[in-house]
Amino acid sequence: MCKFYKSVLFLTLVAIIFTGCAYSSSTQKGVVGVDRKQLMLVSSANMDKGAKEAYSSIIQKAKQEGTLNQNKKNALRIKEIAKNLIPQTPTFRQDAKSWDWEANLITSKQLNAWCMPGGKIAFYSGIIDQLQLSDDEIAAIMGHEMAHALREHSRERSSQNMVANGILGIGAALLGLDQGTTNLAAQVTNVTILLPNSREQESEADYMGVELAARAGYDPRAAISVWEKMKKLSNGNNPPEFLSTHPSHDTRIEELTAYAEVVRPLYEQSLKQKAK
């Protein structure tokens, strides 16, 4: 590619990004007020297709290894809590009610849970067992993970990586940088551009998660106890916040305490409706 066309491609990519043509917001605000424009260059259809294939592969492997929904009691808890949370998702996006939601439990020591694009949820037994999670706490974690899918954070992250790699690749060619220099620039881009967005995504998922839980009749304050348990389990070994892809435990607890109070009336209203 000649230098002229490289320059045109580079400037076109920059123009798309900074004129806002590729930005969108996929969700309604909810009570917590999440309303941030997001860079979306990757199609949602491609993300959903990839998520479906990935989830199917993971579930099939768990079946073969005998680790899928092995603990019947906890598997039923996961599915019941998901069943209660899913009807609340239109608060943030109307199309979510038509997603092909699914929730499964995988036997593993990992302290992890996730929700892929399109509503494919997995909990690992380790996070339930080691943290001795209550239903309210499971709902807090699940609400958080569902919020990632509702906000299309995976799609946003993929788009950010596309932009970073595109600019670095074209910019390196234009400037005559060698591969080692380009790799270093990629690392700098990661901690100065991509990392803050990742923290922002985590905070958004926290806020939306407590609202989903509250609307479904789960105590939003349970999110606070989850991170207090996580803090205790980490024994202070988590990295400094400015080098972490997640907010620090203390920051998270402080923010969740505030937002749990914001959505508490929703929780109380849900309890009254259930009592009728």
Coil, helix or strand for 122? strand
Q: Determine how many CB atoms are found less than 10 A away from the CB of residue 269.
A: 13
Residues marked active site are found at 145
Q: Are 122 and 114 in contact (CB under 8 A)?
A: yes
Residues 6 or more apart in contact with residue 127 via CB below 8 angstroms: 110, 111, 112, 113, 133, 141
Q: Are 74 and 57 in contact (CB under 8 A)?
A: no
Q: Are 212 and 143 in contact (CB under 8 A)?
A: yes
Residues 177/180/182/187 CA torsion (nearest 10 deg):
-150
Burial of residue 16 (number of CB atoms within 10 Å: 0-12, 13-18, 19+)? middle
